[in-house]
C-alpha cells in the first residue's frame, strides 16, 4: 500500500474530521501531461478508489523523515486547478474553518483551528499552505497548478 504524507497539523485535522481534501503541486513532467488535456486521474500519483496510508512527516526534520500512522484514507475525487483558485468551500475541506466562531473553544470535538485571520482563504493560505514544505515555485505567490485530492477516512 502506498502512503500520503502530511505534517502533524494535517494528520490531526484528518483524524478529527475537519480535513477531507489536500492539494499537491504538479511537477514539470505532470504539467506536460496536464497540458495535453488528459484527465487528472490519468497522470496523478493517486487514483479515485485507491486506499492510501497516512504518513506523518516529523517537524523540524532536515532529512524529511516520516512514519506510517496505521490509518488509511480512500481517494474519492481528483481535480486540477491553480492554487489561488481555491473556493471557500474547498478551504473548509482543507481544514481551514474560521477559528471557533461556531463552537465553544473548550469543546473536545471542536474542528476549528486557531488563527488571527477571519476568512477561509486567508486561513488556508497562511495557516495551512504556508506550513507545507512547498517553496518557490510552489508557493502561494507562484500560483502553481495543483492536484486536489478529496478523501475519506476508512
The answer to whether residue 78 scores a pLDDT higher than 70 is: yes
The answer to whether residue 101 scores a pLDDT higher than 70 is: no
The answer to whether residue 107 scores a pLDDT higher than 50 is: no
Q: What's the pLDDT score for residue 11?
A: 93
Quick one: which H or E segment has residue 31? helix 28-35
Residues in the chain: 154
Task: Indicate the pLDDT class of residue 53, thresholds 50, 70 and 90.
Answer: very high
Q: What does pTM read for this prediction?
A: 0.81
Task: Indicate the pLDDT class of residue 33, thresholds 50, 70 and 90.
Answer: low
C-alpha cell at 121: 482563504
C-alpha cell at 80: 486540477
The answer to whether residue 56 scores a pLDDT higher than 90 is: yes
| Mean pLDDT of all residues in 14-38 | 79
The structural domain count of the chain equals 1
Angle subtended at Cα 122 by Cα 87 and Cα 93, rounded to the nearest 5 degrees: 45
Name the residue among 100, 89, 106, 97 with its Cα closest to residue 150: 89
Neighbours of 65 (CB within 10 A): 9
Domain that holds residue 87: 3-153
| Mean pLDDT of all residues in 68-91 | 93
CATH number at residue 51: 3.10.400
Amino acid at each position: 500500500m502506498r502512503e500520503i504524507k502530511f505534517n502533524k497539523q494535517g494528520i490531526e485535522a484528518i483524524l478529527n474530521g475537519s480535513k477531507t481534501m489536500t492539494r499537491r503541486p504538479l511537477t514539470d513532467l505532470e504539467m506536460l501531461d496536464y497540458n495535453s488535456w488528459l484527465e487528472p486521474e490519468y497522470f496523478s500519483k493517486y487514483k479515485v478508489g485507491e486506499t492510501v496510508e497516512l504518513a506523518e512527516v516529523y517537524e523540524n526534520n532536515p532529512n524529511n523523515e516520516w512514519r506510517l500512522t496505521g490509518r488509511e484514507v480512500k481517494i474519492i475525487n481528483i481535480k486540477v486547478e491553480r492554487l489561488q483558485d481555491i473556493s471557500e468551500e474547498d478551504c473548509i475541506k482543507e481544514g481551514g474553518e474560521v477559528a471557533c466562531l461556531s463552537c465553544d473553544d473548550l469543546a473536545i470535538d471542536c474542528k476549528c483551528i486557531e488563527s488571527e485571520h477571519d476568512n477561509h482563504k486567508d486561513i488556508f493560505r497562511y495557516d495551512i499552505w504556508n506550513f507545507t514544505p512547498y517553496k518557490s515555485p510552489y508557493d502561494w505567490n507562484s500560483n502553481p497548478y495543483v492536484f486536489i485530492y478529496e478523501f475519506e477516512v476508512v
